[in-house]
Structure 1
């Protein structure tokens, strides 16, 4: 494998983009050697779905687009990042509020911890934020170089 594989897509902050983000992520990982019918692919699908949903619902119209970045490094670490231009960081909501809304980050943190990964939130230079999830790449999966993907 090259030093790392990268892929990204920018989507409009629209509810229809959540499905597009999921499809993009799972399709890219399949090109990199992770079959879409694995537990890891299901986990990534749900994490991307929740991150994209948060980018659409919680930016209050202040982020017209969001970007999904995928990076697979030579240490067999997968980084998923969703960046929007809204400055507010995700926050934990009281349990009463979470009954109907606000569970996305709870789900993301739980799934990430279950896989042995970690969640980070970093500000961007432009004033927004990137919510990142680092996951171990399944050892039994050997990444391949897919046409059209940038490698470094």
Structure 2
């Protein structure tokens, strides 16, 4: 059901922003709430393995970002019978940064661009995920590397 996937070609922004990756993790998960929960848990475990224990602020922030993007991939990017892919790339440059990528099959549903997010309505319980991403990530965006998938990504400084 879950399978490791090959690394997609790095984006231009990734090449320009960082040097060589110090750690890389990618996995395909079912586009279900269970898959989104598993993405968060796998990210926390991977960060722990890379030296950011579960109880650190960096781990909490990164796993929150994964949870928000994975939830969006399930809610807004789901196509029946298709999975989503999570990719984590650790850069040990100064400062240390984590790139989080969630890839889903809905190229027709793209989120607003950074800086154009409307404020959340106080009457609704949903609609705050990308606002959290915008507030916590050093930068984020969306790319479509092929006609079949879109990737929503963000980067967070770990230290």
Seen in structure 2, the aligned counterparts of structure 1 residues 63 and 55 have a Cα distance that, compared at 3 Å, is farther
Spell out the pairing of 1:2-151 with structure 2 (5 A cutoff): 3-61=21-79, 64-75=82-93, 76-87=96-107, 88-91=109-112, 92=117, 95-96=120-121, 99-112=124-137, 117-138=138-159
Q: Distance in 2 between matches of 1:98 and 1:84?
A: 29
2:146 counterpart SS class: coil
Task: Describe the shift of the 1:110–1:70 C-alpha distance in structure 2 as closer, same or farther (beyond 3 A).
Answer: same
The answer as to whether partners of 1:63 and 1:86 remain within 8 angstroms in 2 is no
TM-score, normalisation: structure 2: 0.75
Is the Cα–Cα contact under 8 Å of residues 105 and 148 in structure 2 kept in the other structure? Answer: yes
Assess if the C-alpha contact under 8 Å between 1:85 and 1:126 holds in 2. no
| TM-score of the superposed pair, with normalisation by structure 1 | 0.78
Asked whether the equivalents of residues 78 and 104 of structure 2 are also in contact (C-alpha less than 8 Å), the reply is no
How much is the aligned-residue C-alpha RMSD, in angstroms? 2.1
Higher relative contact order (CA 8 A, sep 6+): 1
